[in-house]
Structure 1
Amino acid sequence: MLISRGRSSSTSLSRTFSLFKYKAKYTSSLSVLPTRKWQTIQQQNRSNNVQQNRPYTRDSSKNEKETIIRLLYSIGSRKEVEQYLRHFASVESQKFAVIKVGGAVLSDELDTLASSLTFLNRVGLYPIVLHGAGPQMNQLLENANVEPNYIDGIRVTDAKTLEIARGVFLQENLKLVEALERLDIPARPIPGGVFIADYLDKEKYGYVGKITGVRKNVIEASINSGALPILTSLAETPSGQILNVNADVAAGELARVLEPLKIIYLSEKGGLLHGETGKKIDVINLDEEYENYMKQPWVKYGTRLKIKEIKELLDRLPRTSSVAITSAGQLHKELFTDSGAGTLIRRGYRLFKYNSVNETDNSKLQQILQQNSETSSDSSSYIKQLGKKSHAIYSDDPYEVLAVVTQENSKSDAIPFLDKFIATKNGVLNNVTDNIWTMIQKDYPRLTWIVDENDENISWFFKRSDGSFTRNGKTLFWYGIENVTDVSNVINGFLSSKAGDKSGKAFSNNSRSYSTFARKNYPNLLRRQYSTSTSPTKVALIGARGYTGRNLIALINSHPYISLSHVSSRELEGQKLTEYTKDDISYVNLKVEQIKEMQKNGEVDCWVMALPNGVCAPFVQAVNDGQTVKSLIVDLSADYRFTDDWTYGLPELGDRNAIRKATRISNPGCYATGSQVAIAPLIPYISESPTVFGVSGYSGAGTKPSPKNDPAFLKDNLIAYSLTDHIHEREVSHRLGTKVNFIPHVAPFFQGIHLTVNIPLNKTFKSSEIKELYEQKYSGEKLIKVVDDIPCVKDNSEKHFVKIGGFGVHSSGKRVVVVGTIDNLLKGAATQALQNMNLALGYDEYEGIPLE
């Protein structure tokens, strides 16, 4: 199982990372469940229970949990979220996380914090919360004319200060508990009784304690009763004298006793900042980087102390534990995504390269190889055979990850082969896989390897390859091979051997059988040379008369690997398809029985249904009834957009790996695509239903005559239609997991869509911050452009991308208007269909799509 933290180890201190550095597949914003949305959900549940004369219980929150998990999918892939949920649920409840909350967070972000904790609890997690109250205490001391006094950074606590501290801790503790209970989350105030302490130095610091013990049974009792434990850092001597303890210190002591997976420090900064660049540090691997950090001139004062204390803490905890410094608003992205949000600090692993199997720890090598072998004799035999080849072995110190690269001794120019790549769960969770891969890339500019095509994590390798070729259930990958002849030789070698005998159980996506996937533009000959025939992929278009069909025909006409075999239109039957130049094709009127026979005979590789809503079911059934090999179907109507056994084909917001594996793809609607792209980055911050004011060109009304596509009627006019319950309103709401209001209109222009989207927010934003969220979300997406200005329809008509801009924020900071434009016939239909076809047929996603 691959659960990669997506954070590469820093090789130098100047290497820092921007937030939300995530693959184009799932670049996502953070997730905070808005308080108002929670209240709405829970009010509805309470109302339903009252009507049915039953009390509101935690059992009745099943639908809420499902809603939360869907919302989590908006910050990362379904796979990420489910893997982290399983990981966190794999330990005892009290070993999930200790969260230290700064006093400033309680003052300024109480609702956000309560929503974040509610979110976690609703998916069955019980974080232990310990809070400070520094800013509140300073204010009360000032009001009481008590001058704060610090020695060695420690607040001197006299009797008056302790009295104020006790009162403010109790007040802040109850404030957080009440905020949680307003959201129907049971929480237990524990202002004291957990920490046992002695005086740190009574003469010097007064009533300041040094923790000597932790009563974890108090915490366990709270969790066992179903309540979140909310702690303060007040401690007691064995005789009952209350002592003040720094909250960070108390959180560390608590972690040492409980040994949680995560220790989280919530702060308004959201992470550690690099002292020279001012950017947030993404990750620190202490085993590799601690000494270098401590030598940096900017690592001083509080930053130096923080890193030092965290290292001392983690040195005493299991290697699986890590510290995260983040903000309340970024907590869920930090916990449930590979890319994270704040600063992740972990012990990390030292990495080693061995030039001979004799240099390795043989017992550890045997152990990890046995995890990948059926018998111990297999691993022993492998080690013996390895000694006869030129090889290099990569691993971390505990051998959680192992990579073996071999090369033929007789050929100095032979391309190296990745013979083994094995990782334990801990190795993956701690990102050792990515770090070892980086080492291999530095040592080997060219590489090949083989993976089982059904390996659940094949996408990890797709992202790291320049090309691939699949045959007989195995996928050959390569990178760094520029010469077409070399690629051909590599594939021939793969075909002539027992494909896959060399490959181990690594991580690996499903490609369609007999297909290649090449991100580099190798010639068509190379791609076709190794297919089952010399013909390109054959596509039949059902419903070719409409505007979308015509645009798809034009795209396929310029596609190097896909050709039309049939175009079906009842009205145009017998007429020549003049706009298609690859072949001499005429329109036909395919009947259901003909489609069934064509499918039986293997005449079509991909069926595209460009039919009106509610029409294509018989045609799909004919393909299903006739298939011996499962051909691809892409449906452009709304008929299967709500069907679970069809894959929803919006690559920028969905799962590209699922699309690659799919044989039934439902192409999203044009309005729905633009609306989802315009709203998705702000899903975590929505407080009320967004409203989409959409205006389409009259091509969106189809070719059947009506007032909505009559230029004379539309002249100097704007027509609103389907004022409520439009199919796209349901589609967008269903896909985003939040209710969206949609009001469509048609205007006198022919092609294009304008979307003005009003989005209420649950926290204050600046326009620049909103734009940054969109840039982070769509970083690397070739068909989504984020711009400063309000995009215009005329600038996007006949183009293949969505444009998002405007970002007008209301003076309150809690409402934003975003503007999107999309060509309804291209990215809203035909272009997106070709994207999906490329992915599912094994081609580069953007093959045949003009990107400028």
Structure 2
Amino acid sequence: MTGTTKISAVVLGGTGYVAGELLRLIAGHPQLQLAAAVSESQAGEAINSVFPNLQNAFGEQRYIERPAVGEHLNGKVALFSAAPHGASAKLIAEVLEQADKQGCDVTVVDASADFRYPAAARWEAVYGEPHGAPGLIEQFASGLPEHMDNPAQPHIGHPGCFSTAMLLGIVPLLQLKLTETDINAFGITGSTGSGRAPVETTHHPFRQSNLYAYKPLAHRHAPEVTGIAAALTGSDTTLHFVPHSGPFARGIHMTLQAKLAKPISAEELLEQFRIFYAGKTFIKVVDGTPRIKDVAGSNYAHIGIAVDDTSAAVFVAIDNLVKGAAGGAVQWMNIKLGLDETAGLTTPGPGWA
């Protein structure tokens, strides 16, 4: 799709951190225009009162309730959901049903976990509740745009932030058969990964100057990663994931380690990764090790590697809210709408935030 006509964008669950990043990215997107931001809790409030950092990007535009979305379902609509896991699927189903009645062509990218699994039973086994729209699951594909051609399914369930970081390292290792399939992962995320609602572990006196593991070997992103990786590479993997909370607001640093399938030098492995990601605008394979400061606030990911005689380590740095959520969602939406994949996403991060 080309030309100057902008496509209407609707954001569900519009007041969390991921929603705030979606709104920021839409504000700067050359071919998307915000039609509506939906929030039951903030309906009637100005968007810039909830996100003052957006300044006057949307003027006096206000949040609306879900039933009012129908007024904005005309022509072609890009629907982003930043609603919570377990709630997003039902909201999306309601909007799609309404859009179908009105003859509106809607493309969905869901930033929640609700459409990351190919079957409701697998999702329910992880999240412990009935899926909100099992009949829609077959209409969604899940994975990273760097690893998949534009899928036949009309909609996308974007992988989680930790999942994004892990998949960027794991998929090349498995697809190129560089390592064995038993993989250890050590990830550190910023406090925004815990969401906007305050909890004890995001309280500043607790989080500042602190580092700790949580849900070791039991994080719900692990089965998500192994499922997506198997679908993409044909290899089943055993993933031992230990997530950590770090004393910073945004970003993820991930370390993956596995035994080499055969001896390879660091230079050779680095070259294999560079070939694998050649032409992928948002992926940079770096010399040495990547740093969160170099990607925070951007849709870019930096990857580094190290090897010894028997094992490989892959390091991935991303922004959890952008490449790991809102930016990845916009990237997918660009692809599904036939736009330039990089539209609205090439601005570098601030570096010293």
Distance (Å, rounded) in 2 between the aligned partners of 1:851 and 1:662:
29
1:670 to 152, 161, 167: 161
1:642 to 112, 117, 123: 117
Partner of 2:171: 680
2:337 partner letter = L
After TM superposition, give the deviation of residue 604 of structure 1 in Å.
6.4
Q: How does 1:521-536 map to 2 (within 5 A)?
A: 527-528=3-4, 536=6
Q: Does 1:850 align with 2:346?
A: yes
Deviations 1:7-26 (A, max 9, x none): xxxxxxxxxxxxxxxxxxxx
- Conserved 8 A contact 2:89-2:115: no
* Structure 1 gaps, min length 5: 1-514, 517-526, 529-534
Q: Does 1:736 align with 2:229?
A: yes
When residues 604 and 540 of structure 1 are mapped into structure 2, their CA distance, relative to the original with a 3 A threshold, is farther
Q: Which has the higher contact order (CA 8 A, sep 6+)?
A: 2
After TM superposition, give the deviation of residue 649 of structure 1 in Å.
4.6
2:307 partner letter = V
Q: Does 1:760 align with 2:251?
A: no
After TM superposition, give the deviation of residue 825 of structure 1 in Å.
0.7
Q: Does 1:632 align with 2:107?
A: yes
Partner of 2:7: 537
After TM superposition, give the deviation of residue 700 of structure 1 in Å.
0.5
Q: How does 1:325-724 map to 2 (within 5 A)?
A: 515-516=1-2, 527-528=3-4, 536-578=6-48, 579=54, 581=56, 583-591=58-66, 593-595=67-69, 597-598=70-71, 602=74, 605-626=77-98, 627=100, 628-643=103-118, 644-655=138-149, 657-658=150-151, 662-683=153-174, 684-724=177-217
2:306 to 789, 794, 808: 808
Distance (Å, rounded) in 2 between the aligned partners of 1:686 and 1:709:
36
Distance (Å, rounded) in 1 between the aligned partners of 2:56 and 2:34:
10
Q: How does 1:273-288 map to 2 (within 5 A)?
A: none
Partner of 1:257: none
When residues 549 and 604 of structure 1 are mapped into structure 2, their CA distance, relative to the original with a 3 A threshold, is farther
Distance (Å, rounded) in 2 between the aligned partners of 1:851 and 1:577:
23
When residues 842 and 580 of structure 1 are mapped into structure 2, their CA distance, relative to the original with a 3 A threshold, is farther
After TM superposition, give the deviation of residue 603 of structure 1 in Å.
6.8
> If the length of structure 2 is used for normalisation, what is the TM-score?
0.83
Question: Secondary structure of the residue that 2:262 maps to in structure 1?
Answer: coil
After TM superposition, give the deviation of residue 570 of structure 1 in Å.
2.9
After TM superposition, give the deviation of residue 772 of structure 1 in Å.
0.9
- Conserved 8 A contact 1:557-1:580: no
Q: How does 1:20-59 map to 2 (within 5 A)?
A: none
Distance (Å, rounded) in 1 between the aligned partners of 2:147 and 2:347:
19
Question: Secondary structure of the residue that 1:694 maps to in structure 2?
Answer: strand
Deviations 1:308-351 (A, max 9, x none): xxxxxxxxxxxxxxxxxxxxxxxxxxxxxxxxxxxxxxxxxxxx
- Conserved 8 A contact 1:692-1:743: yes
- Conserved 8 A contact 1:557-1:581: no
- Two-structure CA RMSD over aligned residues (Å): 1.9
- Conserved 8 A contact 2:75-2:105: no
- Figure out how many residues of one structure are paired with residues of the other and give that number: 313
* Structure 2 gaps, min length 5: 49-53, 119-137, 231-236, 349-353
- Conserved 8 A contact 2:208-2:248: no
Distance (Å, rounded) in 2 between the aligned partners of 1:742 and 1:538:
39
Distance (Å, rounded) in 2 between the aligned partners of 1:585 and 1:728:
38
- Conserved 8 A contact 2:143-2:228: no
Larger radius of gyration: 1
When residues 735 and 649 of structure 1 are mapped into structure 2, their CA distance, relative to the original with a 3 A threshold, is closer
Q: How does 1:58-457 map to 2 (within 5 A)?
A: none
Question: Secondary structure of the residue that 2:180 maps to in structure 1?
Answer: coil
Deviations 1:86-119 (A, max 9, x none): xxxxxxxxxxxxxxxxxxxxxxxxxxxxxxxxxx
Question: Secondary structure of the residue that 2:9 maps to in structure 1?
Answer: strand
- Conserved 8 A contact 2:189-2:250: yes
Deviations 1:425-448 (A, max 9, x none): xxxxxxxxxxxxxxxxxxxxxxxx
